[in-house]
């Protein structure tokens, strides 16, 4: 599983990155997590609000910081 956290470095973006790392570890998922801060790369995903979460090339979350339970659901269904 390839996971990208998109965001320029705002507090919510950093929180999402930390939450994703913790949740992936707790769920023992085989995943590569990348933090993308480059605006030009973020714009390629057609999102307006950050933070955003991309799993295997598909935007699954944008503009919100999910709860841990919501993130677990997203990770288990993608």
Classify domain 2-77 at the CATH superfamily level: Glutaredoxin (3.40.30.10)
The pTM for the full model equals 0.94
**60 phi/psi in degrees, rounded to 5:** -110, -10
Q: Are 22 and 67 in contact (CB under 8 A)?
A: no
Domain ranges within the chain, ordered by starting residue: 2-77
**2 phi/psi in degrees, rounded to 5:** -110, 120
- Describe the strand order of the beta sheet including 58-62 as a list of residue ranges: 32-36, 2-6, 52-55, 58-62
How do the pLDDT tens digits run along the chain, 78 residues long? 999 999 998 999 999 999 999 999 999 999 999 999 999 999 999 998 999 999 999 999 999 999 999 999 999 998
């Amino acid at each position: 599983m390839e996971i990208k956290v998109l965001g320029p470095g705002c507090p919510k973006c950093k929180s999402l990155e930390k939450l994703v790392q913790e949740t992936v570890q707790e769920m023992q998922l085989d995943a590569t997590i990348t933090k993308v801060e480059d605006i030009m790369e973020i714009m390629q995903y057609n999102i307006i609000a950050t933070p955003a979460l991309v799993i295997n090339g598909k935007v699954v979350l944008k503009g919100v910081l999910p709860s841990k339970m919501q993130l677990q659901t997203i990770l288990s269904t993608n």
